[in-house]
């Protein structure tokens, strides 16, 4: 598989992850970004032996979007600190069921159920915060769909899916979180379209965007 590269230097690689590709290997036979990018580096630079590439953050299997990877341990450590201190800027587009208006902040505690591979809003758990802004709405059969722009403040498991489901507006076609519609997984309506961070060496603020979600 050819992976689209958005930026590359001797410290980092920024690439666009397609739907259906894992962020990293999980023991299945599915392709994953880490393996694909390591193979790319090995071939392009004629690297002997193992290639180092650090995973800075993840995207779910059927969530498409922009990811940054570290080519050195120093870059991995510094980018990891940015993740920890919530300095990395992550924005998503999502199609939500029902009609929303304006903008709001969603804040709750989330707990991951390992057996079900699902996140739940609970009284005890990890803090989850996001901000959203409504972009537009349209009718779909007898229902209204809403396109939202999301700024993710924390990176919890299934955070966007769980938080919108908790307010009665699951993602369109997200049956796992309460959608009434059946949809092909490759049409999953969630894309990490914007990524911003400080370069781990130059300290320059970098931003990348790619929009493919159709509404």
Catalytic residue positions? 60
| Token reading at 104 | 């709001």
How many Cβ atoms are within 10 Å of 37's Cβ, its own excluded? Answer: 21
For the chain, helix (H) and strand (E) counts, in that order, are: 3, 11
CB 188 within 8 Å of CB 212: no
Q: What's the CA gap between 169 and 171, in Å, rounded?
A: 7
CB 62 within 8 Å of CB 189: no
Is residue 38 classed exposed, middle or buried when 0-12, 13-18 and 19+ CB atoms within 10 A define those classes?
middle
Query: Could you give the C-alpha distances from 180 to 47, 134, 170, in angstroms and in order?
Result: 49, 21, 9
Query: Could you give the C-alpha distances from 105 to 60, 121, 160, 161, in angstroms and in order?
Result: 22, 15, 12, 15
């Amino acid at each position: 598989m050819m992976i689209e590269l958005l930026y590359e230097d001797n410290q980092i690689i920024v690439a666009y992850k397609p739907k259906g590709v894992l962020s990293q290997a999980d023991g299945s036979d599915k392709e994953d970004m880490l393996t694909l990018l390591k193979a790319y580096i090995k071939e392009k630079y004629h690297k002997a032996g193992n290639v180092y590439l650090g995973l800075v953050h993840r995207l779910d299997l059927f969530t498409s979007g922009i990811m940054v990877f570290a080519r050195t341990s120093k870059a991995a450590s510094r980018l990891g600190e940015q993740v920890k201190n919530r300095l990395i800027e992550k924005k998503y587009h999502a199609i939500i069921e029902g009609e929303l208006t304006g903008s709001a902040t969603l804040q709750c505690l989330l707990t991951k159920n390992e057996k079900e591979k699902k996140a739940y809003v609970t009284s005890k758990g990890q803090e989850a915060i996001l901000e959203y802004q409504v972009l537009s709405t349209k009718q779909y059969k007898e229902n209204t769909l809403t396109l939202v722009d999301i700024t993710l403040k924390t990176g919890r498991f299934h955070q966007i899916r769980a938080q919108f489901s908790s307010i009665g507006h699951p993602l369109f076609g997200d049956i796992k979180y309460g959608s009434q519609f059946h949809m092909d997984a490759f049409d999953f309506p969630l894309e990490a379209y914007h990524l911003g961070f400080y370069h781990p060496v130059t300290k320059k603020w970098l931003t990348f965007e790619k929009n493919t979600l159709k509404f």
